[in-house]
Structure 1
Amino acid sequence: MQSWQLPEHIADILPSTARELESVREQLLGLFRVHGYELVHPPLMEYSHSLLTRIDTGLSLKTIRVVDQLSGRQLGIRADITPQVARIDAHLLSANNGINRLCYAGSVLHARPDGFLNTREPLQVGAELYGFADVAADVELIDLMLKSVAVAEFGDILLSLGHIGVFRALAKAADLSEQQAEQLLSLMQDKDANEVRAQVEEWKLDGMWAKAFSLLPTLYGSREVVAEARTKLPDLFAVGQALDELQAVCDAFPQQNIHIDLSELRVDNYHTGLLYAAYGSSCHDAIARGGRYDGLGVYFGRARPATGFSFDLRMFIGRLPHSPRMPMIAVDHKDVAAAHEVIEQLRAEGHCVVVDYGMDYNGNKNTTRRLVEQDGKWNIIDV
């Protein structure tokens, strides 16, 4: 194997692309900032139990572990930044009992890629809101998510909605064991209505619950699904509350193309309620995903209502406006000492000044402007 080869699903980002990504990262963090979200920088590595690998099987399988040579304890390289931000809210920002709006942008590392075309090193960008349980907070985050994906060209955007609360309310009412609920949830995620029906028949569930679980994979489509679900699903308070939240989101975005799927339950174990995702007509997968995860902070000593979204900024590659290279001013290396003060002043003003050693630099064969001495003064001339 060549010594320069990288592991599978790991790739370098070269100058022109890196310039575009950094530009959009700054733009997105600026967008978050004007909506009141403060930037945090969690560490790349923590003790593995702090990354919640013990409570989320999917997250645990993604997490790469190493032994800490200082303490001898097991470390984990983060596969998801959301649990880290929940820890920050619950522990480091515990003095604030009100709302914390936090955002982040950093690399995560996966032991395996999520899909054949996915990287193992996503650049995860996201925003989280802690301390407010009402659906209005979810509406705020969905609005911010849609504004975020709009900075790149993904075609027509579809807002996809689901609600894990419907399934969990039915599972509780049907008195399913934790193992049965996990098994049925897995079948739901595979969209296999026949398997769902066969499984609930095998368990000999009460007819009402068997019918409800069999219905879930069929309850998908446009906004009218909410009304349809009200007439077909059992009249449980938690189910009605979940449908009310879905309706509230639909009402908040009257012009947005919306798809609702009550069996769209592709979630991390820590999600507890409303689920949302943004899809583009030119993409094979979701651009951004989010949802409510109330109580996650209990693992760090403070249970808080929470909602948020994230996405891999690398998905934006090739879909961003071209970010041109900063125009350069060249100065002959023999003149650097004499022109030192002028060069530093130009750089302080934001100009790019490069030293010309008589060969190409960064792929540039020609620079159209040069710093030269004329009549005892340093001038920038076009060449």
Structure 2
Amino acid sequence: MPNWLLPENIADVLPSEARKIEELRRLMLDNFRLYGYELVMPPMLEYLESLLTGAGEDTDLRTFKLVDQLSGRMLGLRADMTTQVARIDAHLLNRASVTRLCYAGSVLHTRPSGLHATREPLQIGAEIYGHAGLEADAEIQELALASLALAGFTSARLDLSHVGVLRAITEGDAAATRDAAQIVQLLRAKDVPGLQALTRDYTPVVRDALLALPSLYGSVEVLGRARAVLPDLPGISKALAELAALAASALGRAEVAIDLADLRGYQYESGAMFALYVPGLPNAVARGGRYDHVGEAFGRARPATGFSLDLRELARLLPTAERKHSIRAPWGNAPELKEKIAELRKSGEVVIQSLPGHSNELDEFECDRALVLDDNGSNWILKNLG
């Protein structure tokens, strides 16, 4: 095997693509700051029990594990940064008031999440801690849509769901509670025959409600159908009311859809969830939701909601970045030349000095001007190269 080959679903990012990703990262982090979010940088490596605290089984399966040479304990390479940021809020900051945090960094997955997906996503996201009301959910939802708009996606679809619907349905049936993980898998796949087989011995009310969930997707009118066909339980009524409020807050900024069977993250989510879709990508480009119980796993119960997306996947959808106009300059140590180059760079110009005996091969820059001496050989001036 050639020594330059990389593992499957791991790839280098070349200059033009890297610039797109980095510019997106800066735009989004700067925008988070305008909303009052503070940047944190969790470590790539943690003790396994800390990294997986409050996380679901999916995160455990996606996490690379190794033995620490210093302590002999098991370590994990982070597969998601959400629980790390929750740990920072719970134990390091330990604030009593509302806390807004954001982050950006690589995560590693043992297996790709989908066809052609990378195993090293560049995750960026934002979280609000300390407020249990829908105002926090609405702000996170708005921030996620604003992030896509910064990337140039003005037409996005917002899919809403709520774990409270399923939990309210199953809590009255011991068998359904026991089979919750399997029910979620069948609902996400909209596997009605499988759901019929699994729920055969459930109480009729629970069985009928579960079998109705796969068909409860579409426009906001789905909420009216859900109220008509689902049991009149306080948990269901509360969840549907919250979804209606969040759908109303997003109107005008995105196409809004409801899917009561889309329960990705059911194991650690605790309320309303959303997924964002953009043209050109079949999978959700961003996901978010409420996860109040993750902080509790760190010993400090704290309301929490947030979202994250993969910058590398998002950048793939964008057109190739235009080459930046730049200036070609000769190599030399003359004080006048160095002063002129420094002056141009200070003004924001890209100045590339040609090393002796070499031409420049560039993906990102196009030298449309050159720094040359004037006819008198006394002043450095810019010459258009045409």
TM above 0.5: yes
C-alpha displacement of 1:156: 3.6
Give the number of equivalent residue pairs: 380
Deviations 1:57-108 (A, max 9, x none): 11011001121112221111110011111111111110x2111111111111
Letter in 1 for 2:52: L
8 Å CA contact 2:326–2:367 kept in 1: the answer is no
Query: Which residue pairs with 1:292 in the alignment?
Result: 290
Q: Which amino acid aligns with 2:76?
A: G
Check the 8 A contact 2:100/2:127 in 1, yes or no. yes
- Letter of the 2:247 counterpart: C
The residue number in structure 2 matching 1:248 is: 245
- Is 1:159 matched up with 2:150? no
Deviations 1:226-282 (A, max 9, x none): 111112211211111101100101221233321111111122521111110111232
Q: Is the 8 A contact 1:331 1:372 kept in 2?
A: no
Letter in 1 for 2:78: R
8 Å CA contact 1:47–1:73 kept in 2: the answer is yes
CA contact (8 A) 1:46 1:77 kept: yes
Aligned 8 A contact 2:86 2:295 in 1: yes
C-alpha displacement at 1:11, in angstroms?
Answer: 0.9
C-alpha separation in 1, matches of 2:247 and 2:330? 62
- How far apart, in 2, do the equivalents of 1:284 and 1:72 lie? 43
Are residues 43 and 372 of structure 1, via their aligned partners in 2, closer, same or farther at CA, if it must alter by over 3 Å?
farther
Alignment match, 1:344: 342
Residue pairs, 1:263-302, within 5 angstroms:
263-267=261-265, 269-302=267-300
Identity, in percent, stands at 44
Contact 1:53 1:60 in 2 (8 A): no
2:302 corresponds to which residue? 304
Specify the SS of the correspondent of 1:277: strand
1-structure distance, mates of 2:15, 2:334: 26
8 Å CA contact retained: 2:156, 2:255: yes
For structure 2, list consecutive stretches of 5 or more residues without a partner in the other structure. none
SS of equivalent to 2:171: helix
1:135 corresponds to which letter in structure 2?
Answer: L
**Deviation readout 1:113-167 (Å, 9 max, x if unpaired):** 0112211010111111111111121111111111211233557421101111110
SS in 2 for 1:11: coil
What's the counterpart of residue 19 of structure 1?
19
State the distance in 1 between where 2:383 and 2:185 align.
67
Whether the 8 Å CA contact 1:149–1:287 is kept in 2: the answer is no
For structure 1, the 5+ residue unaligned runs are: none
Asked whether the equivalents of residues 151 and 320 of structure 1 are also in contact (C-alpha less than 8 Å), the reply is: no
Whether 1:45 and 2:45 are equivalent positions in the alignment is: yes
Structure 1 residues 30 and 155, CA gap change in structure 2 (3 angstroms): closer
Structure 2 equivalent of residue 198 of structure 1: 197
Residue of structure 1 in register with 2:148 after alignment: 149
Q: Which whole-Å CA distance do the structure 1 matches of 2:166 and 2:35 have between them?
A: 33
* Residue 332 of structure 1: aligned partner: 330
Deviation at residue 333 of structure 1 after TM alignment = 2.1
Contact 1:153 1:319 in 2 (8 A): no
Superposition CA RMSD, Å: 2.2
